[in-house]
Every structure is written in C-alpha cells, then in structure tokens.
Amino acid sequence: MMNITETKQLLERRHKALSERISDMEGALRQEHSANFSEQAIEREDEEVLERLEKEALDEIRAIEAALQRMDADTYGVCTGCGDDIDEKRLKILPYASRCIRCAQ
C-alpha cells in the first residue's frame, strides 16, 4: 500500500512549484517588446517556447488538481477507465495518473 499522505504532499508541492513557474512565465510574456526588429523576432520565438511550456504546466496542474480531488473522494489509485487499481509503480512515476497503463494506451 502506498503512502497517500506523502503522495499528497508531493503533489501539493509540485502544484505550488508549477503555479509559481506559470506566474513567472506570464510576467515574462507580458513584457514589452523591444523596438529593435531583430530582437523582436527573437523575443517572439522565446514567447512561443514559453507559451508551450506554460500550456504543459497548466495541463500538469489540472491533472494534479484532479488527483487531489480523487484523494479527497477516496478514489485515488483507481483507474477512471476500467475501475481497476492503478499499478503502484505507475503511480510512483506519475502520481497524478488517472488511468491504468492499459487504459492510457
């Protein structure tokens, strides 16, 4: 049996770190563009990378929030696809996994 309290703390820490990272990225994205045209091109490329990273972070945050809700509802570790228990090894690697390896494929 895995330690839910520990996993919950881990998820909450990760959630906090991601939220901070997102607000940093949003701050960077809101910065004024430089007046120099070639610098602007670089800035736009950076922004595309930032936006992609931000989207990934947001997806992870949503997955973490869903996992925390499942913990509160006592359904954490149960596959939302087939209802079987999710393998503990999978949950160790991906603590916010909502589906077992078979359903996720």
Residues that bind Zn ion (CB under 5 A): 79, 81-82, 100, 103
> In this complex, which beta carbon is closest to Zn ion, that of residue 25 or of residue 86?
86
> In this complex, which beta carbon is closest to Zn ion, that of residue 67 or of residue 100?
100
As measured in angstroms, the least distance from the Cβ of 19 to Zn ion is 29
> In this complex, which beta carbon is closest to Zn ion, that of residue 21 or of residue 70?
70
As measured in angstroms, the least distance from the Cβ of 82 to Zn ion is 3
Q: What is the three-state SS of the chain?
A: CCCHHHHHHHHHHHHHHHHHHHHHHHHHHCCCCCCCHHHHHHHHHHHHHHHHHHHHHHHHHHHHHHHHHHHHCCCCCECCCCCCECCHHHHHHCCCCCCCHHHHC
As measured in angstroms, the least distance from the Cβ of 59 to Zn ion is 20
